[in-house]
């Protein structure tokens, strides 16, 4: 296959990945890595480097839109970025020492988790009141705009959420994905932040987390211009189109189809990992 | 009253951040596209090889080399330069936050943000 043909096909695939990723809220990275490794037979380290770049692109693109609406909790995001960036760097270092077959298996497990998480009905918490000592000290309690005006909320279990975010960071650095699913567990389920706030804040954080490990991947020579170019352009175009048609599309059916695709991909990744084909 | 004031300043900061992010992404995609066209004109008929990891040459790995060779108009170096701009976008956002927190005299968050910033800089 010539570079031109390869670029055009990858551009098309990335556009679809970006579109589906933004419609389902799963991000493009979770499909890009299995598609690159299983279909295009790209070495998994190159695939991870490429995916990290696409994660930064989609996160910055989406965050630009959300930040303006004043929903995301910037202090909460900044505080948790302490956990995710340190985790991401550890993950990127770990990636050199862990065999690629093991990385493929871990990837499969995280893919399944992401698919399941996307299908589970979102638990929308709203905790109000003064909140605990840490939440007050760190000024994490905030308000967000709703239809009925500003709604105050309190953030719970700061330490637990911080530790979970650290794990999310490690996984992000190790696998080159945004770890959106783990961030949702940390913020929605552990810290009990309202759903709207947690998704936008998480999106905001994903780019920063990905940059922390992308620097290491770049230095190691895992970020290839020929692969990254069509992927960045495609994923961004897909994400922008996706955000425009979000309200017109029937996201529920789409989510189920996407989850099934991801399940199949994750099984194949795990199979390849177990048989040492990756 | 204090809370309301803080929230207004937060909103201003958020608007600036949104603009920074959008500008960064747009600039990056433009540079990547230009580099991509140059690359495909020069190497479009070659066969790329990604099956096995061989590692990128220095001009795609080191920030200084990337800038040097990109300025010489080499396609793939220009793409890497665009990717560097993309990576710098969230960093710029963090740098703006540091200034914002200094203006708000919120020194706890000046420290937190500085740590996040240093962690990323040290990784580069």
Which residues, numbered 78 to 117 in chain B, qualify as contacts with chain A under a Cβ-Cβ cut-off of 8 Å?
79-80, 82-83, 86-87, 89-91, 93-94, 97, 106, 108-109, 112-113, 115-116
> What is the value of ipTM here, to two decimals?
0.88
pLDDT, one tens digit per residue, over A232-242 is: 999 988 888 87
- Candidates A40, A58, A64, A72: best to mutate against B (most CBs of B within 10 A) is A64
- State which residue of chain B sits closest to A232, comparing Cα positions: B29
The mean per-residue pLDDT over the stretch A207-215 comes to 92
The domain spans of chain B are 2-44+56-123
User: What gap in Å lies between CA A4 and CA B99, rounded to an integer?
Assistant: 45
Flag if B123 and A61 touch (Cβ within 8 Å). Answer: no
Most confident of A18-27, A60-69, A122-131, A158-167: A158-167
Report which DSSP code applies to A191.
S
Provide the greatest CA pair distance for chain B: 66
What is the count of structural domains for chain A? 1
The mean per-residue pLDDT over the stretch A51-79 comes to 80
Provide the pLDDT for residue A122. 67
Contact criterion met (CB below 8 Å) for B83 and B36: no
Helix, coil or strand: residue A24: helix
pLDDT, one tens digit per residue, over A189-208 is: 899 998 888 888 887 788 89
Provide the pLDDT for residue B107. 94
User: What gap in Å lies between CA A143 and CA B9, rounded to an integer?
Assistant: 14
Helix, coil or strand: residue A152: strand
Examine the pLDDT at B1 and tell me if it is beyond 50: no
All residues of chain B having their beta carbon less than 8 Å from the beta carbon of residue A73 are none
The mean per-residue pLDDT over the stretch B3-16 comes to 64
The mean per-residue pLDDT over the stretch B7-23 comes to 74
pLDDT, one tens digit per residue, over A106-146 is: 999 998 888 888 777 666 788 888 888 889 889 899 888 88
All residues of chain A having their beta carbon less than 8 Å from the beta carbon of residue B89 are 56, 60, 207
User: What gap in Å lies between CA B83 and CA A83, rounded to an integer?
Assistant: 24
Provide the pLDDT for residue A246. 61
Provide the pLDDT for residue A116. 84
pLDDT, one tens digit per residue, over B52-99 is: 888 888 889 999 999 999 999 999 999 999 999 999 998 998 998 899
Report which DSSP code applies to B109.
H
Question: A146: which strand partners?
Answer: A149
- What is the CB-side half-sphere exposure of residue A256 using CA atoms within 13 A? 3
Domain limits for position A18: 3-274
Helix, coil or strand: residue A40: coil
Tokens of A99: 């065999």
Helix, coil or strand: residue A178: coil
Provide the pLDDT for residue A19. 85
Contact criterion met (CB below 8 Å) for B123 and A84: no
């Amino acid at each position: 296959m010539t570079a031109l043909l390869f670029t055009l096909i990858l551009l098309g695939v990335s556009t679809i990945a970006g579109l589906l990723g933004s419609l389902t809220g799963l991000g493009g990275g979770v499909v890009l890595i299995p598609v690159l490794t299983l279909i295009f037979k790209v070495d998994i380290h190159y695939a991870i480097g490429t995916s990290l770049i696409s994660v930064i692109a989609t996160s910055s693109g989406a965050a630009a839109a959300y930040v303006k609406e004043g929903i995301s909790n910037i202090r909460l995001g900044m505080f948790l970025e302490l956990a995710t960036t340190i985790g991401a760097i550890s993950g990127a270092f770990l990636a050199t020492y862990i065999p690629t077959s093991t990385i493929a298996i871990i990837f499969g497990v995280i893919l399944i988790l992401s698919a399941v998480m996307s299908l589970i009905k979102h638990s929308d918490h709203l905790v109000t009141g003064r909140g605990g000592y840490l939440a007050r000290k760190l000024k994490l309690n905030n308000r967000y705009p709703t239809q009925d005006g500003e709604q105050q909320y309190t953030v719970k279990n700061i330490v637990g959420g911080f530790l979970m975010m650290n794990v999310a960071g490690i996984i992000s650095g190790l696998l080159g994905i945004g770890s959106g699913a783990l961030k949702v567990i940390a913020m929605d389920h552990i810290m009990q932040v309202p759903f709207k706030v947690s998704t936008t804040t998480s999106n905001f954080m994903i780019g920063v987390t990905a940059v922390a490990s992308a620097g290491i991947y770049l230095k190691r020579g895992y970020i290839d211009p020929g692969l990254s170019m069509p992927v960045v352009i495609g994923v961004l175009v897909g994400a922008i189109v996706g955000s425009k048609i979000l309200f017109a599309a029937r996201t529920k059916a789409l989510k189920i189809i996407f989850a099934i695709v991801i399940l199949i991909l994750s099984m194949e990744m795990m199979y390849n990992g177990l048989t040492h084909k990756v | 009253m204090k809370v309301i004031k803080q929230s207004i300043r937060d909103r201003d900061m958020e608007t600036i951040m949104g603009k920074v992010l959008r500008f960064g992404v747009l600039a990056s995609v433009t540079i990547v596209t230009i580099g991509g066209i140059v690359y495909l004109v020069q190497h479009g008929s070659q066969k790329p090889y990604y099956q096995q990891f061989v590692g990128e040459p220095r001009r795609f790995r080191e920030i200084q080399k990337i800038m040097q060779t990109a300025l010489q108009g080499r396609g793939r170096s220009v793409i890497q330069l665009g990717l560097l701009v993309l990576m710098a976008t969230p960093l710029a956002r963090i740098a703006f936050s540091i200034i914002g927190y200094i203006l708000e005299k919120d020194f706890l968050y000046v420290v937190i943000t500085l740590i996040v910033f240093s962690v990323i800089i040290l990784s580069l």
